[in-house]
Amino acid sequence: MQIKGETSVNKLILLFVFDKMESPLTERTLLDLCTSSNAWLNYMDCMVLIHRLQSDGFICEIPSEDDTLYTITPEGRETLANFYINIPRSLREEISRYIKNNSARFRNKQECKADYYQNKDGTYTVFLKILAPVQPMLELKFVVPDKKTANYIYKKWEDKASEMYSAVYETLVD
């Protein structure tokens, strides 16, 4: 449900998404949430609004090793608290429901990074990371015998990262 020409309402929609997600978000995650996975905003409006909200002081950047993260500021929260009623109720309910059901998937997609490349000897090196807002929580680098294995690990990392982190942590702390 896009609201055309209502930039103040569209800004509130973005602030509402930040509030419901309860964590810093990358531009890619915001665009996916608001435009690709849902039709809350159109792509170009969303791109412009992210930067407008930042210049207005309603969101700010958090330094990060990889992608830039954005988070809502106290001024953004106050503005949302004062004007969230301007977002149509049906849209607020839709956003709340969608984020409740999908926030973990979006966080995993944003926080779990993987890559691999071929070595001179024909093996593959796989890099796996779990990112936190300031620094990586976990980084793994290991060699596998072939591209099929590297690609399999690459594709599974997002789903298995939290289990892997827990297993490594429990093994080392115990």
Cα–Cα–Cα angle for 16, 5, 57, nearest 5°?
A: 45
Q: Does domain 7-110 have CATH number 1.10.10.10?
A: yes
In 3D, which of 54, 60, 71 has the Cα closest to residue 19? Answer: 71
Where b means 16+ CB within 10 Å and e means fewer, 18-49 reads bbbbeebbbeebbbbbbbeebebbeeebbeeb
pLDDT tens for the 174 residues of the chain, in order: 445 555 889 999 999 999 999 888 989 899 999 998 999 999 999 999 999 999 999 999 987 766 788 999 999 999 999 999 999 999 999 999 999 999 888 887 888 889 999 999 999 999 998 877 667 788 999 899 999 999 999 999 988 888 888 888 889 887
In the chain, domain spans: 7-110, 111-173
Q: Is the pTM of this model over 0.75?
A: no
